């Protein structure tokens, strides 16, 4: 078996920035155990596997440890690969277990992905957060109803880059935030900034994360009373996202760059 494989920096258009994703394109999906092995060997936070399906593309996402229900940055990476293979098209559709994800390419070569907007509920901060992050001023705490992702809101004066999580304590924890946890704040340059951690999926820090922005978009849209939001994920490999919020959908828009192309031999 030979698999056409790419490494793509998502939500960035330069080396060393954005979220590195694997993309595997094949006539049909390999067996699940093979996809998991490939994702573990590629070692990116997620690898997208895409295969053609009735004028669309079936997509599945795997972290190094398990299959994921939704992944924004790997979808963006897969879109960049497919638009490169078919330069005359400006739209495509992905099918996944939860429905469809329409994708649009814009004249500036950015790519917009139409994702379901996640609602949220407020949840009280738990004592384990202090174990994870040390002293952190928490002004709000929410949990995505669909994604299960926990988001801690802190004040604008917090420097997110100084947060140094204790990943050993995090991965041992079994409770509220087993689907991942973000820290976010309002920003003087963007509308908001964030960082996102998910050692429970084998990814200590995910540099730029589309799926958590399905929750962040609703929260900050309501708080700032804006439908278009500029977001910045302030990791060591930072990235920018443009969010357009509708009633139950959000367009997550960004750029991506292919940095490696080759063949994987599982």
pTM for this predicted structure: 0.92
Question: Does the domain made of 3-114+253-264 have the CATH classification 3.10.310.10?
Answer: yes
- pLDDT at 54 > cutoff 90: no
Q: Which residue has the higher pLDDT, 150 or 179?
A: 150
CB 71 within 8 A of CB 211: yes
- pLDDT at 178 > cutoff 80: no
Tell me the average pLDDT across 147-156. Answer: 94
- For every residue of 209-225, DSSP letters joined together read -TTTHHHHHHHHHHHHT
The pLDDT of residue 245 is: 98
pLDDT 10s digits, 199-234: 988 889 999 999 999 999 999 999 999 999 999 999
What is the spatial distance between Cα 104 and Cα 109, in angstroms, rounded to a whole number?
10
Mean pLDDT taken over the chain: 95
Tell me the average pLDDT across 145-158. Answer: 94
The pLDDT of residue 147 is: 92
* 3-114+253-264 and 120-245, same CATH topology: yes
What pLDDT band is residue 176 in, cutting at 50, 70 and 90?
confident
Name beta bridge partners: 61.
48, 68
Catalytic residues, by residue number, are 46
Residue 188, phi-psi category: left (phi > 0), alpha (psi -120 to 50), beta (remainder): alpha
Give every CB contact of residue 195 below 8 A, 6+ residues apart in sequence: 160, 163, 182, 183, 184, 205, 233, 234, 235
In the chain, where are the structural domains located? Answer: 3-114+253-264, 120-245
Name beta bridge partners: 153.
140, 184
Radius of gyration, alpha carbons of the chain? 18
The helix/strand/coil state of 20 is strand
The pLDDT of residue 1 is: 86
219 φ/ψ angles, rounded to the nearest 5 degrees: -60, -50
The pLDDT of residue 122 is: 95
Residue 168, phi-psi category: left (phi > 0), alpha (psi -120 to 50), beta (remainder): alpha
Tell me the average pLDDT across 128-154. Answer: 93
Nearest residue to 175 via CA among 143, 139, 207, 137 = 143
The pLDDT of residue 138 is: 93
What CATH fold (topology level) applies to the domain 120-245? Diaminopimelate Epimerase; Chain A, domain 1 (3.10.310)
């Amino acid at each position: 078996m030979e698999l056409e494989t790419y490494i793509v920096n998502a939500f960035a258009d330069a080396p060393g920035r954005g979220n590195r994703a694997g993309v595997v394109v094949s006539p049909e999906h390999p067996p699940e155990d093979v996809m998991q092995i490939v994702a573990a060997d590629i070692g990116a936070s997620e690898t997208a596997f895409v295969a053609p399906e009735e004028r669309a593309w079936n997509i599945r996402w795997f972290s190094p440890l398990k299959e994921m229900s939704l992944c924004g940055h790997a979808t963006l990476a897969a879109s960049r690969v497919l638009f490169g293979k078919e330069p005359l098209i400006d739209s495509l559709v992905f099918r996944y277990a939860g429905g469809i994800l329409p994708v649009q390419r814009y004249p500036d070569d950015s790519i917009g992905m139409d994702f379901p907007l996640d609602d949220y509920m407020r949840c009280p901060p738990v004592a384990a957060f202090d174990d994870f992050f040390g002293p952190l001023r928490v002004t709000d705490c929410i949990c995505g109803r669909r994604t299960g992702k926990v988001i801690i809101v802190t004040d604008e004066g917090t420097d997110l880059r100084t947060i140094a999580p204790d990943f050993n304590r995090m991965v041992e924890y079994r409770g509220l935030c087993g689907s991942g946890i973000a820290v976010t704040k309002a920003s003087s340059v963007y509308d908001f900034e964030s960082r996102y951690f998910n050692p429970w999926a084998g990814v200590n820090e995910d540099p730029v994360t589309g799926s958590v922005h399905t929750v962040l978009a609703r929260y900050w849209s309501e708080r700032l009373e804006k439908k278009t939001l500029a977001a910045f994920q302030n990791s060591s490999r930072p990235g920018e996202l443009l969010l357009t919020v509708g009633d139950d959908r959000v367009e997550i828009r960004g750029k991506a760059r292919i940095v490696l192309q080759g063949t994987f031999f599982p």
